[in-house]
A and B are shown apart, each in its own frame.
Chain A
Amino acid sequence: MKLSKEQIAKIDETLVLNKVVYDDIKLELTDHIASDIEEIMVNQEISFGVALKEAFEKWRLQLKPRAAGFWTPEKRRFLFSERTVEPKLIMDKLEKISKKNFFNIILLSIIITSLTFALVKMYDSETVLNAFNEVCKSLCLILIALLLSGRILMFKIKGATTFGYLFKTEFFRIIWMPFFNLFLLSDTDFLLKPISNKHFFIIALFALGLVRALLSLQFLYKHFEFERKLSKV
């Protein structure tokens, strides 16, 4: 027995009431619960309303509100504002992606910092280092353009995904980073300075900003990729 459009809309509505608002999660939960209801209605010969309650009961634990933990970027702007709360299933997904992203940022930042130092040591030539400086400047400008246009597009195109949430919450924390890097690169001697602890720290900060902004673009890509798949259906 297949459910009608109105019955599917009721499942959707119940999910939204339980704060499941992201398309990537909501559509698979709607389908799962609808399939379960169809089976319950046939096996137990009960009405849609009763079957709906029975099907949702199985999701009670996964839909329970859970506050953001250490790894999850939050919507709140101030430290003492209320913590972001999402259903457990969503918060778990956000946490897993954020944790993986954090370790990728650290790893890539270490690699870029080491490579920059190796370059500075190996090619002690002004021409090579100035060329490298120019490449970094262009990369920062491209990053700024992509981040800003991505954020504007998200305003214009409706639709919410967990990846969109991650990009939005990251955006205000990272948008200044490529600008800071451009400021560092405006000093033409930035890469030519003698190697010291202070210089190492600045290059590490430069690499961290670059990688963090670069990796946030993957959230943007995944968000639009999913929305594109949805729009094709």
Chain B
Amino acid sequence: MKNSQLYKGSLNTIVMKLLEENGRMYGYEITQKVKAMTQGELNITEGALYPALHKLEADGLLDVEVEKVDNRLRKYYKLTEKGTTETVNRVAELEDFIRNMQSLVQPKLAF
């Protein structure tokens, strides 16, 4: 996607939704999952992903787990109880937003 400004406001919700569906994920996995799901259209940069994860963690919406994988330590993120509730609200907000955008971009014709 050329205009990354369009998804910046929704990045936190995208991350939370992915974590809700997958249980726990690590940073690189999130970038690859988004790339695969959007056939390479959406590319979450490192500079956008980690500040978002750190903010969600500081807000108490995410918790971290550390594990040793392939000669290195891996930090997994997962939703906290508060985060799970918040995900439902934020996804509903995002869906409303998409619906409104659709009606603005492709208004239904009156017959």
Check A233/B54 contact, CB under 8 A, given A31-B26, A31-B28, A32-B28.
no
The range of chain B's interface size is 20 to 34
Contacts of B26 in A (CB 8 A): 28, 31-32
Chain A residues within an 8 Å CB radius of B55: 96
* Closest-CB distance, A18 to chain B (whole angstroms): 14
B64 within 8 A of A: yes
Contact A233 B73 (CB under 8 A): yes
Other-chain contact of A3, B27, B70, B74 (Cβ < 8 Å)? B70
Nearest chain B CB to A22 CB, angstrom units: 11
Partner of B47, one of A27, A28, A61: A61
Chain A residue at smallest Cβ distance from B67: A233
Q: Chain A contacts of B70 at CB under 8 A? A: 2-3, 34
A149-193 vs B, Cβ < 8 Å mask (1 yes, 0 no): 000000000000000000000000000000000000000000000
Whether B50 lies near A233 (C-beta < 8 A) is no
Query: How long is the Cα–Cα vector from A100 to B57 in the complex, in angstroms?
Result: 12
Q: How far is the CA of A61 from the CA of B77 in the complex (A)?
A: 24
Chain A CB within 10 A, most for which of B55, B69, B72: B72
Question: Does any Cβ of B come within 8 Å of A8's Cβ?
Answer: yes
Q: Which residues of A contact B (CB under 8 A)?
A: 2-5, 8, 24, 27-28, 30-32, 34-36, 58-59, 61-62, 89, 92-93, 96-97, 100, 226, 229-230, 232-233
- What are 18 A-B contacts defined by CB distance under 8 Å? A2-B71, A5-B71, A27-B75, A28-B26, A28-B75, A30-B73, A31-B69, A31-B72, A31-B73, A61-B47, A62-B46, A62-B47, A89-B47, A89-B50, A93-B51, A96-B58, A230-B66, A230-B73
